[in-house]
Chain A
Amino acid sequence: MDAMEKQIASLVADADSVQLAPSPLTLWLKWMGIAAAYIAVSLLFLGVRSDVLESMHNALFLAEMGLLIAIVITTALSASLLAYPDIYQRSRWTLAPIFMFVIFVGVIALAWQADNPPAPLPVHSYQCSLTIAVLALLPAAWMFYSMRQLASTHRRFAGVVTMLSAFSIGAITLRLSEQTNSIIHVIEWHYLPMVGVAWLGVWLGKQLLKW
């Protein structure tokens, strides 16, 4: 018996019936449900900004929130597909977050232009980045844990979209909680750190999604 036959025999000996992994759609729906519940619970603790209804009449704020939600949805979808070795043979879908992100940057640029005269800056600064990071910890851990049960062959990309998804959840929560209309503050202490930290996902994905 040659080495290959021995290897096959040992793998066959170890092969009982297997519990199939959930489909990407199931995984994604589960994540979305958990994300919605997590944002709701976090807002219960942090409190919703008092001018939230008034802000909803601002088209740019509404677009910003809508696109943040779209980023969470598309990054989570992308991460759920990237958890499969063959990306579930739907690789185009993994690029969806890029389109959302481009539109998001456009909306933020418009909001920046419209912020004239600029809204007063809040007294705090880096605390917002820290809060987003803390809020993102649990979703990131949960998503990485779920993905470890599968077998990603695009670990770095999967890591980035997972981190972006988790940090977007944190950003949505804080945006609905913190009472500020200063777009400069939001760019500087919410979104730039969020995008910066998401790149940690390259390393985290490589380390955490080994199999």
Chain B
Amino acid sequence: MAKTSVSLEMLMQQALTGDKRAYADLLRDTAQFLRPYLSKRLSAASDVDDLLQEILVSIHKARHTYDGKRPYKPWVFAIAHFRLQDYLRTYYADQLRFASEIGELENTLPADVTNSDFSYESISGEVNQLPEKQAAILSLMHEEGYTAKEVAAKIGMKESAVKVAAFRAYKILREKLSK
């Protein structure tokens, strides 16, 4: 363990003098020991990969703040923790926005469906002008009669995401048709 730590510090010192090979080795080693740390905290493997790449960029940007006089790992983990917090903050802010959109959808969706004066066929022209994904969702739900859950499974989205996309599509259609 101590050997690894020393070698990481040496690699960084060599990298700071412009040794590209040492730098590549260092980044690979760093990615290797950071991956389990991130995997414990993030569920999706793709998120781990994205964040790991972001952390490597941050290490690259901040490498002039490492002078080799202190252990390397605490320096790296400070950066990793900082980027992880940033990532989680953005993630939860998105979740919160998403939840409020779902809430809004649940309040308005039943009324929209029961009070609709239009059949799907009569507005299919407008539906086709919607963004591709929204149009596909409305088509599956209203032309082919799938539920939101079935649509989600069919096109590989979360059910809540399908509902939000449908809600946005209804909103656009309502605006268009009320003109």
The minimal Cβ–Cβ distance linking B94 to chain A, given in whole angstroms, is: 19
**A86 x B17 contact (CB < 8 A):** no
B18 near A15: Cβ-Cβ < 8 Å = yes
> Hey, which chain A residues are within 8 Å of B63, CB to CB?
15, 18
Closest to B24 in A: A12
Find out whether the CB atom of A85 lies under 8 angstroms from the CB atom of B82: yes
Cβ of A147 to closest chain B Cβ, rounded Å: 11
Given the complex of chains A and B, what is the CA–CA distance between A7 and B57 in angstroms?
8
| Residues of A with C-beta under 8 A to B52 | 4
Report, as a range, how many residues of chain A touch the other chain: 20 to 34
Contacting pair B18 A151 (CB below 8 A)? no
Tell me whether B64 and A211 are in contact (CB under 8 A). Answer: no
Cα of A86 to Cα of B43 in the assembled complex, Å: 26
Tell me if A15 and B78 are in contact (CB < 8 A): no
**Contacting pair A211 B61 (CB below 8 A):** yes
Pair A20/B15 contact, Cβ less than 8 Å = no
Does chain B have a CB within 8 A of A84? yes
Complex Cα–Cα for A210 and B82 (A): 12
Closest residue of chain B to A84 (Cβ to Cβ) is B65
Q: Is B56 an interface residue (CB 8 A)?
A: yes
Assembly CA distance A20 to B64 (angstroms): 5
B70-94 contacts to A (CB < 8 Å): 70-71, 74-75, 77-79, 81-82
In the complex, the answer to whether A86 meets B27 with C-beta atoms within 8 Å is: no
- Note all chain A residues with C-beta closer than 8 A to B31: 4, 8
Q: Are B78 and A153 in contact (CB under 8 A)?
A: yes
Bound CA span A87–B64, Å: 14
How far is it, in angstroms, between the C-alpha of A23 and the C-alpha of B81 when the chains are bound? 22
- Give CA–CA (A178, B152) in the complex, Å: 71
The answer to whether B78 and A20 have CB atoms under 8 Å apart is no
* Docked-complex contact A15 and B15, CB < 8 angstroms: yes
Q: Check B20–A4 contact: CB distance below 8 A.
A: no
Q: Quick check: is B60 within 8 A (CB to CB) of the other chain?
A: yes
Query: Is the C-beta of A44 less than 8 angstroms from some C-beta in chain B?
Result: no
Q: Answer whether residue B126 sits at the interface, using C-beta atoms and an 8 A cutoff.
A: no
- CB-defined contacts of A15 to chain B, threshold 8 Å: 15, 18, 20, 23, 60, 63
For residue B65, which residues in chain A have a CB less than 8 angstroms away from its CB?
21, 83-85, 150-151
Chain B interface (Cβ < 8 Å from any Cβ of A): 15-18, 20, 23-24, 27-28, 31, 49, 52-53, 56-58, 60-65, 67, 69-71, 74-75, 77-79, 81-82
